[in-house]
Amino acid sequence: MKLGVVGTGYVGLVSGACFADSGNDVICVDIDEKKVERMRKGEVPIYEPGLNRVFDRSIRENRLRFTTSLEEAFKESEILFLCLPTPPGADGQADLSFVLNVADDLGELFNKYPGYRVVVNKSTVPVGTADKVREAISAKTDEEFDVVSNPEFLREGAAVEDFMKPERVVVGAGTQRAADAMRTLYEPFVRSGNPIIIMDERSSELTKYAANAILATKITFMNEIANICERVGADVDNVRRGIGTDSRIGKRFLFAGIGYGGSCFPKDVQAIHHTAGQYGYDFKILDSVMKVNELQKVSIVEKMKEYYDGDLAGKRIGVWGLAFKPETDDVREAPALYITDALAKAGATMIAYDPEANETFQAAATSVALEAMEFTTDRDEVLKGVDALVICTEWNEFRRPDLDRFPKMMKTPVIFDGRNLYDLKRAKDAGLIYVSVGRPSVG
C-alpha cells in the first residue's frame, strides 16, 4: 500500500520503517530539514535496537523516503498516519495544536489531490480527537475520507520487535471501508493469530490511555508494597514472585524501583486524569499514582541522606545509568534527572556513565546537576575512589559486574541500587554495604 507518515519521532519513524519493511511504499514527512537530510543519507536519528537494519534495507530498495513536504506525501498516499507530538499543556491537557494544524493542511490538500484516503491518528491523543481532526478536514473539503484511531503500543528499546509482532492491533474506525483498509495493512503483522480489534474511535482512543494508566498503576502499587517491605522487614522480590504466579495478576510489570519515567506514562497518566476531570469525574487512583511516583523517584536520595546522617556535602557519588530505562538513549522524565539534581543540591559531586545516554542526559539535566557532574565512557571509571555508587538504570552490563572488585576500587563500598540488580547474599559476600528497593539492607 502507499502510506504517508507525518512526524518522524519514535512512533513515526519506527512505524514508517516497519511498514516499509513489510513491503509498503512509505513517505515520511518532518518539518525538521536537517533531520530529513540525515535520514535520506540512511542515518537513524534515534537509538533503537534493530532499527538500523530495517531502515537501511527499506531505503536501499526505495520503499522508504523522506521529505519536508506534506504535499509530496499526501499526493501519493492511500493512508496517512499522523504521528505528531502531543506534549502536556500547562493545564495537564495534551496539546493538540500539532495534530490540528496538519489536519487543516490536509483539508486543502484533499481539494488539490482529490480521492478517498484514510487519515490515522497514531499519536496518543485525548478522547474526541478523531472527531476534531474530522471536523478540521471537513471544514476545508467535501472530498470523501475517514479518520481512524490506531494507538501504538510499542515500547522504546523494543520498538521494532513490538511493532513487527504486536500482541494486538487496536483500530477505532467509524466505517467498514476504513476498517478494511487498516485490516489489509496490519494482517502481515499478526500472522501468528494475534487479534486486530476493531471498535469505535472514542473507545480506541481511551484504550491507549487505559493501557498506560493501568501499567503505571501496577508499577506504583509494587513501589508502595516495596516501601512497606522496607518497614516490615519483608523482601519485595519474594512478594513479587508470590503474587506474579497468579495468572490474574501476571508476572510482568511488577518490578519495584525508583518510579516510572519516559515520555509516555507520566504524560498519559496526567492527561487521562485531566480528561476525567473535564467530564466531571475525579479519577482518584491516578491522583495517588502521580503523587507516589514523584516521591519514589527521589526515594533513593532519602535513603542516602539517612545513611550519611543528612550530610551529603563533599561526598563523591558514582552514577550508573541515566536513561529512563535500558536500551534507549531517552532521558525524558528519567529518575536520574531528579536524583542527580537532588544530590547536587545536597552538596555531592558525581561521576556518571550510561552506555547510550551520556549526551542526551547532558542536554536535559538541570544546570545545578551538571555543575556537580563529570561523565565518562568507562563503566569502571565511575567506581574509582567514590564514596558510593547509585544505580539508576538496569542496563544489562550493570547486572553481573565482578562485585568482589568493588571494595578495592571504591573509597567505601556502598551501593544504592534503584533497580534491585544484585542478589543480597552475593552483595554481602563481596563485602558491600548494599541498599536497594523493598529489600533488607546488607552490610
Binding site annotation covers 330? Answer: no
List % helix, strand, coil for the chain (3-state, nearest 5): 45, 15, 40
* Beta carbon nearer to ligand UGA, 58 or 212: 212
Cβ proximity of 213 and 268 under 8 Å: yes
- Dist. CA 291–CA 223, nearest whole Å: 12
Coil vs helix vs strand at 74: helix
Please state the closest distance from residue 37 (CB atom) to ligand UGA, in A.
Answer: 27
CA distance 123 to 384: 44
Instruction: Supply the minimum distance, in Å, between the C-beta of residue 310 and ligand UGA.
Output: 27
Binding string to ligand UGA for residues 276 to 315, with x set by CB under 6 A, is what? ----------------------------------------
Among 55, 74, 209, 265, binds ligand UGA (CB under 6 A): 265
Nearest alpha carbon to residue 272 among 262, 260, 281, 263 = 281
Q: CA-CA distance, 413 to 410, in Å (whole number)?
A: 6
Give yes or no: 264 in active site.
yes
Which 8-state DSSP code applies to residue 64? E
Helix (H, G, I), strand (E, B) or coil at 179: helix
Q: Is 124 assigned a ligand-binding role in the annotation? A: yes
Positions in 97-136 near ligand UGA (CB under 6 A): 124
- Specify the pairing of strand 2-6 against strand 79-82: parallel
CA pair distance 116, 175, nearest whole angstrom: 13
Confirm or reject binding of residue 325 to ligand UGA (CB under 6 A).
Answer: yes
Residue selected from 75, 132, 155, 183 as contacting ligand UGA according to rule CB under 6 A: 155
Per CB under 6 A, the segment of 18-26, 63-71, 191-199, 262-270 that binds ligand UGA is 262-270
Which residue in 137, 264, 391, 403 binds ligand UGA (CB under 6 A)?
264
DSSP codes of every residue in 268-286: HHHHHHHHHHHTT---HHH
For position 274 contacting ligand UGA by CB under 6 A, the verdict is no
319 binds ligand UGA (CB under 6 A): no
* Cell output for 167: 500482541
Distant-in-sequence, close-in-space partners of 74: CB < 8 Å, separation ≥ 6? 4, 80, 106, 109, 113, 117
Nearer to ligand UGA, 326 or 413 (CB): 326
Q: Is 12 in the site for ligand UGA (CB under 6 A)?
A: no
Q: What is the DSSP letter of 188?
A: G
Candidate segments 17-25, 94-102, 126-134, 255-263, binder of ligand UGA by CB under 6 A: 255-263
In the bound state with ligand UGA, the residue whose beta carbon lies nearer, of 77 and 121, is 121
Contact status: 153 vs ligand UGA (CB under 6 A): yes
> Any idea which residues carry the catalytic annotation?
264
- Positions that interact with ligand UGA (CB under 6 A): 124, 152-156, 212, 215, 219, 253-255, 257, 260-262, 264-265, 324-325
